[in-house]
Structure 1
Amino acid sequence: MGRAVKRPFIGLTAAVAALGMTVSLAGCGGDGGSDGVTLRLVAADYDVAGGESSKKYWADLTAAFEAEHPGIEVDVRIESWNDVDRTVAEMVKAGDAPDIAQIGAYADYADDDLLYSADQLLSIPVQSNFLVPLTDAGEQQQTQYGLPFAASTRLLFYNKELFAEAGIEKAPRTWGELAADARSLKAGTDATYPFALPLGPEEAQAETMMWLLSGGAGYTDAVDTYQIDSKANVATFEWLRDNLVEPGLTGPVAPAELNRKDAFAAFTRGEVGMLNGHPSLMQAARNKGVEVGAVALPGRDGQSKSSMGVADWIMGFKENGHREEIGEFLDFVFSDDNVLAFAGQNDLLPVTVSASEAMEQDPEHRDLKEFLAELPESELPPVGKTSWAAVSESIKKKVGQAVAPGGSPAATLGAIQRDASAAEAAE
């Protein structure tokens, strides 16, 4: 929500790696010689299976770049998602910032004036090719510092076989239809979770935002100030408590204790009737024999007016003074071939207009068409605000209480709002 509506989560983010690894992908490494420059890049590992697809992607890309730019070498260090943000933070604190970092958040570094802005790095055609919500999400004080590297959106996933068993003929478009379908799944199938509602500490801020958007509001208002305990948001959580949780439609694990990875794993085992999911889950479920349907998230009275987008970021640090070389490399990174190669390899969405159009027309990626349709108008969590990390942690710890037995959405969201106001005042 660069303004109130377009910022990235991350937390979000999108593909958590099972294993970490640190490797050098440059041809020669070292200092690049007296007449050359070696750029140091720290990147996240997106291979959730613990393979080497991220290593191969960067190895192929840097080899092609170095062949075209003989005076520049790129040394790539890959870290797991568990470690990559901390690794970069430690390097920066030690006065040894990388030239380029591909990580989960950029806001603190931009706020400390450590990053080059997009217009200092990228050619005009490349900078203007980013999808608008992602450009807005990468801005701080109307200047773009975060360059979107990977994106995804969220859809409502449902198990077609369980829907057929329950006699449900079409996917829900409203909250009322969703609750009715969950009741039918509970009564007519052996689904463990008619609707899985993961509000546990792993990714509660993402699940929360999806519901706030479908209820017509969100985390921030029109001037980018937190409005977490707004009337609309409180009403959303009251509906969840009264219509899904208390009737026993969210399964045996309390939403406050259900993490996203566990809900996703249950879906791939055929135990979940419906949940909110991202592109990578679709392929994982189908690989396990689950017949998956996916539609836009239902809203209170119809299809949600906007869906949640998620982005990960790449950025250039000023410390080593390699602005021109960083810019040349990033222009290369954002070519259509490279953007499409990474997105396709990881079941993610392209971050540029031209690559998105190419993917939409490619039959090989027809499963991503609905996700692509949601991205241009999606809204992203406010990671551009330096307060977001603290606010996100507050949401993870507290929001599940709002739907617990005897829980008060107004009290819980009010407590989170107080945390958010304090964090925002300290920005």
Structure 2
Amino acid sequence: MGVTGALAGCGGPAGSDDVTLRLVAADYGRSSADSSKKYWDGLVRGFEAQHPGTKVDVSVYSWNDVDRKVKEMVAAGHAPDMAQIGAYADYAAAGKLYQAEDVLSIPVQADFASELSDAGKVNRVQYGLPFAASTRLLFYNRTLFAQAGITAPTTWSELAADARALKAKGVKFPYALPLGPEEAQAETMQWLLSGGDGYLDGFGSYNFDSTQNVATFTWLKDELVDKGLTGPVEPAKLNRADAFAAFTRGEVGMLNGHPSLMKAAAAEGVKFGVVPMPGVDGRAKSTMGVADWMTAFRQNGHQDRIRDFLDYVYSEKNVLAFSREYDLLPVTNSAQEAMSASPRDADLAPFLEELPSSELYPVGKTSWAAVSADIKQQVGKAVGPEGSPAAVLGALQREAVTADGSAG
């Protein structure tokens, strides 16, 4: 859907100095009642009141459409001034984006959490401005765990034992493993990290078929999937949204989730707990973090006006307001400190604690979009009835190396 932010300018004569900035943004709401349109409308009203002569038009699209919409606009030669989307590296590599230092004041740029700033860089130059962040923790249903007489797991073997106990009590999805095409890249990365490796090696090259990664997926197949502990839906066909919905219905014992699942589960009366993702022999060394990005396009040349607007967007007040509205983590140090000190945000504290040591998708690689799409379509086969983790991860590695070479 397309919506337009408040357009009423305040003060100052109309003339050649008047500028209208165009922003395309993603919708974080679950319905029209909490659409991001409302957030941007309020923010734009406040900004325009303080900056006569600058107006901001905001178009909000669903996450299913927003990246495609921006791509089409750029291809047609009509890039927006700013786009709040899921990736930035392609546009940066093509020379279409302002660098962060071009469109942010020094104090605002310095306020970003360092791990997020680093993830926004291409060739050590920051182009992606982190806009929202989240981490993943293991959610478990306290009621089902009590009925099975078990406690939250801290190791893989404990997780498997808990899943067996839940299955014995008739739980539909002892551990929900969503490796379907919606967001398989997230579940995959979480498990690879908990197994001690990940998508990249220490030199920044793709690393899908490492010994540790193959061992991780072999364990998933042998100890969870083949033993019927992941529920009636084949992991390759289970999407994250469906797994979350099943959790809110009380049908899931455990699954990896992000902060927004808390509100959805609580609304349905599900009593749940959250713990760090178990590792092979104890707590995983790192969890998965996710960031969404603000970008500023060079095409229209509104650098100074964009800086004014983005400095306003990234004020502590506005960052906190957005994070609280959508159960996300603040991307600035000042807002994180305010959230950590506020009792009203206590439920987000466990997720916030994981952020400094989290690992994000390799979004600085221009090949990541293609590689991520390949993961979504292929990785579920690794744990299928006739699946071979080594073969599937090996194929993903070959495709990733090819994509990386083409992008480079």
TM-score by length of 2: 0.97
Identity over aligned residues, as a percent?
Answer: 64
Shift of residue 53 of structure 1? 3.8
Partner of 2:244: 264
Shift of residue 52 of structure 1? 4.7
Q: Is the 8 A contact 2:5 2:44 kept in 1?
A: no
Partner of 2:199: 219
Give 5+ residue unaligned stretches, structure 1. Answer: 1-19
- Of 241, 266, 278 in structure 2, the residue corresponding to residue 286 of structure 1 is 266
Aligned counterparts of 2:17 and 2:371: Cα–Cα separation in 1: 46
Q: Is the 8 A contact 1:26 1:59 kept in 2?
A: no
Q: Verify: 1:40 aligned to 2:40, yes or no.
A: no
Q: Is the 8 A contact 2:9 2:49 kept in 1?
A: no
Query: Where do 1:82-97 residues align within 5 Å?
Result: 82-97=64-79
Which segment is superposed worse, 32-41 or 397-406? Answer: 32-41
Partner of 1:16: none
Partner of 2:139: 157
Q: Verify: 1:199 aligned to 2:160, yes or no.
A: no
Q: Secondary structure at the match of 2:360?
A: coil
Shift of residue 255 of structure 1? 0.6
Relative CO higher for 1 or 2, CA cutoff 8 Å, sep ≥ 6?
1
Shift of residue 67 of structure 1? 1.5
Aligned counterparts of 1:284 and 1:215: Cα–Cα separation in 2: 29
Q: Is the 8 A contact 1:25 1:55 kept in 2?
A: no
Q: Which amino acid aligns with 1:26?
A: L
- Of 64, 67, 70 in structure 1, the residue corresponding to residue 49 of structure 2 is 67
Aligned counterparts of 1:80 and 1:245: Cα–Cα separation in 2: 33
Measured against aligned partners, the alpha-carbon deviations of 1:275-333 in whole angstroms (never above 9, x if no partner) come to 00000011100110100100110001110100000011111110011111101110111
Partner of 1:167: 149
Partner of 2:157: 176
Measured against aligned partners, the alpha-carbon deviations of 1:85-108 in whole angstroms (never above 9, x if no partner) come to 111111111111111111111111
Q: Verify: 1:401 aligned to 2:381, yes or no.
A: yes
Q: Is the 8 A contact 2:9 2:54 kept in 1?
A: no
Aligned counterparts of 1:426 and 1:105: Cα–Cα separation in 2: 18
Aligned counterparts of 1:114 and 1:392: Cα–Cα separation in 2: 22
Aligned counterparts of 2:9 and 2:111: Cα–Cα separation in 1: 32
Q: Secondary structure at the match of 2:21?
A: strand
Query: Where do 1:6-405 residues align within 5 Å?
Result: 20-27=1-8, 33-168=15-150, 170-187=151-168, 189-405=169-385
Shift of residue 50 of structure 1? 2.8
Residues 191 and 258 of structure 1: CA distance in aligned 2, closer, same or farther (over 3 Å): same
Partner of 1:423: 403
Q: Is the 8 A contact 1:25 1:77 kept in 2?
A: no
Residues 21 and 48 of structure 1: CA distance in aligned 2, closer, same or farther (over 3 Å): farther
Aligned counterparts of 2:288 and 2:34: Cα–Cα separation in 1: 29
Which segment is superposed worse, 194-203 or 127-136? Answer: 127-136
TM-score by length of 1: 0.93
Aligned counterparts of 1:301 and 1:25: Cα–Cα separation in 2: 54
Q: Is the 8 A contact 1:24 1:77 kept in 2?
A: yes
Aligned counterparts of 1:264 and 1:143: Cα–Cα separation in 2: 37
Aligned counterparts of 2:350 and 2:157: Cα–Cα separation in 1: 22
Measured against aligned partners, the alpha-carbon deviations of 1:2-58 in whole angstroms (never above 9, x if no partner) come to xxxxxxxxxxxxxxxxxx3322432259xx731221111111111112325412211
Calculate the aligned-residue CA RMSD, in Å.
1.4
Aligned counterparts of 2:38 and 2:180: Cα–Cα separation in 1: 34
Aligned counterparts of 2:260 and 2:373: Cα–Cα separation in 1: 24
Q: Which amino acid aligns with 1:374?
A: E
Q: Is the 8 A contact 2:340 2:346 kept in 1?
A: yes
Q: Is the 8 A contact 1:200 1:400 kept in 2?
A: yes
Shift of residue 72 of structure 1? 1.4
Aligned counterparts of 1:86 and 1:406: Cα–Cα separation in 2: 35
Aligned counterparts of 2:95 and 2:309: Cα–Cα separation in 1: 21
Aligned counterparts of 1:82 and 1:399: Cα–Cα separation in 2: 21
How many residues get paired? 405
Q: Runs of 4 or more off by more than 6 Å in structure 1?
A: none
Q: Secondary structure at the match of 1:318?
A: coil
Shift of residue 141 of structure 1? 0.4
Q: Secondary structure at the match of 1:51?
A: helix
Measured against aligned partners, the alpha-carbon deviations of 1:375-408 in whole angstroms (never above 9, x if no partner) come to 1111001121111111111111111111112321
Q: Which amino acid aligns with 2:406?
A: A
Q: Secondary structure at the match of 2:359?
A: coil
Aligned counterparts of 2:57 and 2:370: Cα–Cα separation in 1: 33
Q: Is the 8 A contact 1:155 1:296 kept in 2?
A: yes
Q: Secondary structure at the match of 1:217?
A: coil
Give 5+ residue unaligned stretches, structure 2. Answer: none
